[in-house]
Amino acid sequence: MANIKAAIKYIRKSRRNRLRNIAVKGNIKKLLKESIKQIAANGKETADLIKKAISAIDKAVENGRMHKNTAARKKSRLMKKFNAAKK
């Protein structure tokens, strides 16, 4: 355990950020899975779910929770599946 006061504060901050990161990434995972499920089922809510997923990914990048290339890859794969299903 850290002895210095600043180190203790940094540990607290790290824990808080880690929990926030896990929550954001979990939400993105959930939205991506739901979107893919809707794409496979040709659901009516597909476009809305995709918009929500892309929005969540963009917010994660904006807040520094996800790398921009990772976000681009996830969005690209999602849109690729959506466009393939439309054909």
Task: Assign residue 75 the CATH number of its domain.
Answer: 1.20.58.110
Q: List all residues 6 or more positions away from 72 whose beta carbon is below 8 Å from its beta carbon.
A: none
**66 within 8 A of 57, measured Cβ to Cβ:** yes
**46 within 8 A of 52, measured Cβ to Cβ:** no
Mean pLDDT of 24-53: 94
Q: What does the pLDDT read at residue 82?
A: 95
Question: What is the span of the domain harbouring residue 57?
Answer: 5-86
In the chain, what is the straight-line distance between the N-terminal and C-terminal CA atoms, in Å?
Answer: 58
For residue 52, give the amino acid letter: K
pTM strictly above 0.75: yes
**1: pLDDT strictly greater than 90:** no
The DSSP 8-state label assigned to residue 82 in this structure reads H
Mean pLDDT for the chain? 95
Number of domains into which the chain is organized: 1
Q: What does the pLDDT read at residue 43?
A: 82
Collapse the DSSP code of 43 into the 3-class scheme (helix H, G, I; strand E, B; otherwise coil) and give the result. Answer: coil
